[in-house]
Amino acid sequence: MALFTRTTKNVILKIDEFFDTVDLGLLVFREGIKAYLHRDMDAFERHIQKIESLESTADMLQRSIENEMITHSILPQHRVEVSSLIDQMDEIIDSIKASLNEFGIEMPEIPASLNNSFIGLAEASASAAEELIPAARAYFRAPHTVREKLLKVYYYESETDTISRNTKRIIFQGMKELELAKKAHLRYIMQNIEKISDRAQKAADLLSAMAIKIIM
Amino acid sequence: MILLFLTSGLFLGWSLGANDASNVFGAAVGSRMVSFRMAAIIASVFVILGAVLQGSGTSATLGRLGAVNALGGSFTVALAAAITVYLMTKVALPVSTTQAIVGAIIGWNIFTGNPTDGKVLSQILTTWVAGPVLGAAFAIILYILLKRIKKSSRMHLVVFESYIKAGLIVAGAFGAYSLGANNIANVMGVFIPAFNLHDLNLGFITLSSSQQLFLLGGLAIAAGILTYSRRVIETVGSNIMELSSEAAMVTVLSHALVLFIFSSSWLSSVFVKIGLPAIPMVPVSASQVIIGSVIGIGLYKSVRNINFRILGEIAAGWVATPLFSGLLAFLSLFFVKNIFGIEVGSRIIAADPLEPGTTPFPSPDPNLSGILHYLILGLIVTGASAVVFYYLLDRRKRTGFRKSEERFWKYIK
């Protein structure tokens, strides 16, 4: 039995640490994108290394939490949902790593006029995921407040879509001098940034259902 | 021969354990908060304690309903009830042992031409109604209270669930104790007058004659829990309604409270002292109480949460149990008396079977006490060894798993 034992406390600490890791990953993502757009490649490389390490930590924490929940019979009724939530949040940090790596490997040529649009897109997408974290924390302590916190996730996800749509319109309709291959490349890079908010929304849907189940 | 007659009571005890453990730990196991093994061990230990320490109150009430005044009658009545419970359990219905034994005693009354005490019967029937109603009321109150505590404390879900798990184990132990105290009368009540055993000194406690019988009955119940209760536990735990962990705890606790109320002479005397009417010491149907508790929570949440088809099947079992048991007792008594020529009882109604010196039964063999003492000690030692063995085995398994996990993570790092 996991009552008052080190295991119970460990699981709580690990869940909090996992959320911290995702939160930190989002900060790194923002700074990484800014560094790339400002051509500060040293800082960008540092951020890539940081996100690699954070992603690895998140994976280890995820496995450890799931194992401890199973072996010590912690949260038997909510274990599947909590594992799914953690898995979906892990996908967010996976997307961050994938997106930053794409920048690092493919080195997309982003016109300076689009810098603000890309920063705005990254900000909105990261904000959607950032707003998910307090909601996920609230699930464990105050499930009644989860839904109101999730509103911001949906707002920023919609904001990300709007910025992305407008930027794509500018790229494909306003930049006649840009080659089609470069346009397609930029679209591809933007889609990967959007993935972060899409995954946050998917996790928010799950969290919302989990909160209802626990309140009822 | 006397010990052979006792086997039907032990069989009934085994059936009670197989069936009624579901009332104590069904919700906990169904909600996956407590493993079946842990539930079975805790239930077994506490049901024996309840039977031995607090089992005499309800036995007197059953004795007043029908004082079975021949050992052959006791054997047949208990056997009829046991077969009824076994058959109902076989089809996975949470049947009530109380109803089975009451039906069988009334069958004996009819067969021997003894009148059934209407007052006692109505008292028992009233508790059959009051039990589930009280269970539902307790469940609603406790559930609302728990929900409020959870909301206001802002406790981490993992910690809260740990408390609930501990609560389920404590409530389950209390429920098993109350079950033993309340329902041991169904198992051993009809045999008490036939046995006048010497006191058994176990070192830390001295057991009277009836307590030794209760201990044997309790061991039979424990055997039923350990060997055959899994199927019914799963029926109660998950089929009536999908239970959350806190609902599971509330269900077990309210069930335990109701059973305790109807078997605690101490509580009854407290009621009398403060000017309230005494609580009748009646064996309550544990199945009905637990279902009442589940319904209470279902009603509080939403009526749609309840699987009415399963409830209907269980209600059918309630009607069928006493009828089937009574009919079986009647027919069995006929065969035992006319074919085997064994005395099953007469029209003469004895006084309260628990009062010493009033029993019409012959004195038992003087060696019987010795045989029973060795039997009881042997069973206690075997049971305790089995529990220790299981605990060590489980601990070894867990340690092995933890070490394997640690090796894996060390390798990954």
Grade residue B354 by pLDDT with cuts at 50, 70 and 90.
very low
CB-based contact B166 A8, cutoff 8 Å: no
HSE, CB side, 13 Å, CA atoms: give it for residue B185.
32
Q: Name B317's Cβ contacts closer than 8 Å, sequence gap at least 6.
A: B88, B93, B94, B95
CB-based contact A1 B166, cutoff 8 Å: yes
Asked whether residue B255 is assigned to any structural domain, the reply reads yes
CB-based contact B162 A64, cutoff 8 Å: no
Q: Which residues of B touch A140 (CB under 8 A)?
A: 156-158
Grade residue A3 by pLDDT with cuts at 50, 70 and 90.
very low
Evaluate whether A92 touches A18 at the Cβ level (below 8 Å): no
Asked whether residue B312 is assigned to any structural domain, the reply reads yes
* Closest chain B C-alpha to A77 CA, distance in angstroms: 7
Grade residue B241 by pLDDT with cuts at 50, 70 and 90.
low
Q: Positive or negative CA dihedral for B227, B231, B234, B240?
A: negative
- Average pLDDT on A68-84 reads 86
Measured between CA atoms, the residue of chain A closest to residue B247 is A216
DSSP assignment of A23-46, as one string? HHHHHHHHHHHHHHHTT-HHHHHH
Q: Residues B78-125: pLDDT tens digits?
A: 888 888 877 876 776 667 778 888 888 888 888 888 888 888 888 887
Evaluate whether B105 touches B68 at the Cβ level (below 8 Å): yes
Measured between CA atoms, the residue of chain B closest to residue A59 is B412
Report how many Cβ contacts below 8 Å link chain A to chain B: 63
Residue B93's pLDDT is: 67
The yes-or-no verdict on residue B329 having pLDDT over 60 is yes
HSE, CB side, 13 Å, CA atoms: give it for residue A96.
40
Evaluate whether A103 touches A33 at the Cβ level (below 8 Å): yes
> Under DSSP, is residue B179 helix (H, G, I), strand (E, B) or coil?
helix
CB-based contact B245 A77, cutoff 8 Å: yes
Q: Where are the beta strands (DSSP E) in B170-279?
A: 200-201, 206-207
SS3 readout for B364-409: CCHHHHHHHHHHHHHHHHHHHHHHHHHHHHHHHHHHHHHHHHHHHH
> How far is residue A74 from each of residues A71, A135, A140, measured CA to CA in Å?
8, 21, 13
Select the residue of B161, B166, B409 nearest A75 (Cβ to Cβ).
B161
Asked whether residue B404 is assigned to any structural domain, the reply reads no
Total structural domains in chain B? 1
- The whole-chain average pLDDT of chain A stands at 91
Domains and CATH numbers, chain A: 6-215 (1.20.58.220)
Asked whether residue B341 is assigned to any structural domain, the reply reads yes
Evaluate whether A58 touches A77 at the Cβ level (below 8 Å): no
- DSSP state at residue A78: T
Residue A35's pLDDT is: 94
Evaluate whether B191 touches B74 at the Cβ level (below 8 Å): yes
Q: Which residues of B touch A76 (CB under 8 A)?
A: 31-33, 161, 245
Grade residue B357 by pLDDT with cuts at 50, 70 and 90.
very low
Asked whether residue B64 is assigned to any structural domain, the reply reads yes
Evaluate whether B13 touches B224 at the Cβ level (below 8 Å): yes
Report chain A residues touching chain B, CB-CB < 8 A. 1-4, 8, 11-12, 15, 60, 64, 67, 71, 73-78, 139-144, 214, 216
Q: Residues A122-173: pLDDT tens digits?
A: 999 999 999 999 999 999 988 889 988 999 999 999 999 999 999 999 999 9
Token digits of residue B84: 């009824």
Nearest of B241, B247, B245, B250 to residue B303 by alpha carbon: B241
Higher pLDDT, B154 or B105: B105
> Under DSSP, is residue B228 helix (H, G, I), strand (E, B) or coil?
helix
Select the residue of B33, B159, B409 nearest A8 (Cβ to Cβ).
B159
- Average pLDDT on A22-34 reads 94
Where would I find the H helices in B262-307? 265-273, 286-301
B36-54 vs B2-30: helix crossing angle, rounded to 10 = 130
Max CA separation in chain A (angstroms): 67
Across A116-130, B12-26, B138-152, the highest mean pLDDT is recorded for: A116-130
Q: At B207, give phi and psi (nearest 5°).
A: -100, 130
Evaluate whether A156 touches A63 at the Cβ level (below 8 Å): no
Torsion of CA B125, B129, B131, B134, to 10 degrees: -150
User: Distance between CA A125 and CA A164 in Å, rounded?
Assistant: 10
Select the residue of A12, A71, A214 nearest B158 (Cβ to Cβ).
A12
Vertex B35: Cα angle to B34 and B40 (nearest 5): 100
Asked whether residue B408 is assigned to any structural domain, the reply reads no
Higher pLDDT, B154 or B314: B154
Q: Which domain holds residue B110?
A: 2-346+363-395
Q: Which residues of B touch A70 (CB under 8 A)?
A: none
Grade residue A2 by pLDDT with cuts at 50, 70 and 90.
very low
The yes-or-no verdict on residue B358 having pLDDT over 60 is no
User: Distance between CA A59 and CA A94 in Å, rounded?
Assistant: 9
User: Distance between CA A133 and CA A23 in Å, rounded?
Assistant: 7
Residue B92's pLDDT is: 67
- Average pLDDT on B186-200 reads 77
Q: Residues B368-387: pLDDT tens digits?
A: 677 777 777 787 788 778 77
- Average pLDDT on A16-38 reads 94
Measured between CA atoms, the residue of chain A closest to residue B31 is A77
Q: Which residues of A touch B166 (CB under 8 A)?
A: 1, 3
Interface test with B, best of A14, A70, A73, A215 (most B CBs within 10 A): A73
Percent of chain A with pLDDT over 90: 73
Q: Residues B37-77: pLDDT tens digits?
A: 888 888 888 998 888 888 877 877 777 777 777 778 888 88
Q: Name B362's Cβ contacts closer than 8 Å, sequence gap at least 6.
A: none
- DSSP state at residue B191: G
Residue carrying structure tokens 């040293």: A42
Residue B356's pLDDT is: 44
Q: Where are the beta strands (DSSP E) in B150-205?
A: 200-201
Measured between CA atoms, the residue of chain A closest to residue B302 is A216
Evaluate whether B321 touches B95 at the Cβ level (below 8 Å): yes
Q: Name A151's Cβ contacts closer than 8 Å, sequence gap at least 6.
A: none
Q: At B230, give phi and psi (nearest 5°).
A: -55, -45
Asked whether residue B410 is assigned to any structural domain, the reply reads no
Residue B359's pLDDT is: 46
Residue carrying structure tokens 């052979």: B4
* Closest chain A C-alpha to B17 CA, distance in angstroms: 25
Asked whether residue B69 is assigned to any structural domain, the reply reads yes
- DSSP state at residue A171: I
CB-based contact A76 B412, cutoff 8 Å: no
Q: Which residues of B touch A2 (CB under 8 A)?
A: 162, 165
Grade residue B311 by pLDDT with cuts at 50, 70 and 90.
low
Vertex A101: Cα angle to A99 and A102 (nearest 5): 65
> Under DSSP, is residue B104 helix (H, G, I), strand (E, B) or coil?
helix
The yes-or-no verdict on residue B274 having pLDDT over 70 is yes
CB-based contact B31 A76, cutoff 8 Å: yes
